[in-house]
Chains A and B, each alone.
Chain A
Amino acid sequence: MTFDNPIALTTSKSDETSSLNKDEKNYPLIDARGPRFGALITVIMLSLTLVLDSALPLLFQGLVFMIGATFGPQRTPYAFIFKKLIKPRLRGDVPTEDVRPPQFAQAVGLVFAIFALLGFASSSEPLFLIATSMALAAAFLNAAFNYCLGCEMYLLLTRAFKR
């Protein structure tokens, strides 16, 4: 086996810990159902934004995205509701996930929310409508289909912008 080669991150049937696995140990594992529940409330907030044509729920959601993107999705108000009200009522195994994928999704949500708010502030209806719709679609895909935004978007973005 060629562990000195930088490409060899993991080769199974070995006792060596790969760099990728070592890297992962620095990040907490969280209950994977938490971010999905958060996505459901996000869908409601962004739908309210469009239906009421109001920036208030959008502004609140933007702040939640900011907390999620900065401190992690396990620290948002939605995660708090999940821990206090939802989690105690759930049974079965707790599916866990690395905190980074949902945190990436929160950051993408924040970017959409900022554009949507800019659209509202500048009375640009198309920008407000499109950016809010993109965030709504992503949150809905996450809530309904367990969509992994980081899986689909991150490599494409890296391929496009990194040489």
Chain B
Amino acid sequence: MERLLPVLIVLAVASAYGLWYRASRGRVKNSARAKLIALDAKTLGGELGERATLVQFSSAFCTPCRMTRTLITDVITDMPDIRHIDIDAESHLELVRRLDIRSTPTTLFLDSAGIERGRAIGAPKRTELIEAITALKA
């Protein structure tokens, strides 16, 4: 039975990580330190929304990226002052490093000035997404 021990250890460690993974992905977190550098249309390759901009970083090997794209498009359909910019992370590594994007999808919530106010790693939960957009009223 001692051969069973490595299996049990691996499954226990993976479970702990998996629980953290499930709890952290999809949450919209306030970006703690207000980043002073504002992102502009030139850097992002798309115009900023009048009220807010959702910047999504995607990659090819990422199932929730597609879901995130569909969800955001759906939620902001009737919000002409919000824009959604989808960026292929792999072909914009400089920006990815500067913003410290580590996994996909990562969505940044920018205010009207292009300053990051919030960030979601993983496909955002619909309610949190709507809350975060509402919070960006200014």
Indicate with 1 or 0, residue by residue over B82-99, a CB within 8 angstroms of chain A CB atoms: 011111111111011100
* B7–A9 touching, CB < 8 Å: no
A10 within 8 A of B: yes
A residues 57-98 touching B (CB-CB < 8 Å): 97-98
B residues 1-49 touching A (CB-CB < 8 Å): 3-4, 6-7, 10-11, 13-15, 17-19, 21-22, 41-47
Question: How far does the Cβ of A121 sit from chain B's closest Cβ, in whole Å?
Answer: 19
* A155–B59 touching, CB < 8 Å: yes
Q: Which residues from chain A contact B69 at a C-beta distance below 8 Å?
A: 10
Q: How far is the CA of A1 from the CA of B104 in the complex (A)?
A: 25
* A2–B47 touching, CB < 8 Å: yes
The A interface, classified by DSSP as helix, strand, loop or mixed, is: helix
Q: Which of A5, A18, A32, A158 contacts B93 (CB 8 A)?
A: A158
A101 within 8 A of B: yes
Q: How far is the CA of A152 from the CA of B106 in the complex (A)?
A: 11
Q: Which of the candidate stretches B60-68, B110-118, B129-137 sits at the interface with the other chain? A: B60-68
Question: How far does the Cβ of A82 sit from chain B's closest Cβ, in whole Å?
Answer: 17
The count of residues in chain B whose C-beta lies closer than 8 Å to any C-beta of chain A is 56
B74 nearest CB neighbor, chain A only: A12
Size range of the interface on A?
Answer: 35 or more
Question: How far does the Cβ of B33 sit from chain A's closest Cβ, in whole Å?
Answer: 22
Question: How far does the Cβ of B17 sit from chain A's closest Cβ, in whole Å?
Answer: 7
Indicate with 1 or 0, residue by residue over A119-157, a CB within 8 angstroms of chain B CB atoms: 000000000010001001100110011011111101110
The B interface, classified by DSSP as helix, strand, loop or mixed, is: helix
Question: How far does the Cβ of A17 sit from chain B's closest Cβ, in whole Å?
Answer: 12
Q: Which residues from chain B contact A18 at a C-beta distance below 8 Å?
A: 86
* B46–A150 touching, CB < 8 Å: no
Q: How far is the CA of A46 from the CA of B60 in the complex (A)?
A: 28
Q: How far is the CA of A11 from the CA of B82 in the complex (A)?
A: 11
* A20–B88 touching, CB < 8 Å: yes
* A141–B73 touching, CB < 8 Å: no
Q: Which residues from chain A contact B10 at a C-beta distance below 8 Å?
A: 50, 133, 136-137, 140
Question: How far does the Cβ of A65 sit from chain B's closest Cβ, in whole Å?
Answer: 16
B107 within 8 A of A: no
- 15 more A-B contacts (CB under 8 A) besides A32-B63, A97-B63, A104-B61? A7-B92, A8-B46, A9-B58, A9-B86, A10-B85, A11-B83, A11-B86, A13-B77, A98-B63, A101-B61, A133-B6, A145-B19, A147-B21, A150-B61, A155-B90
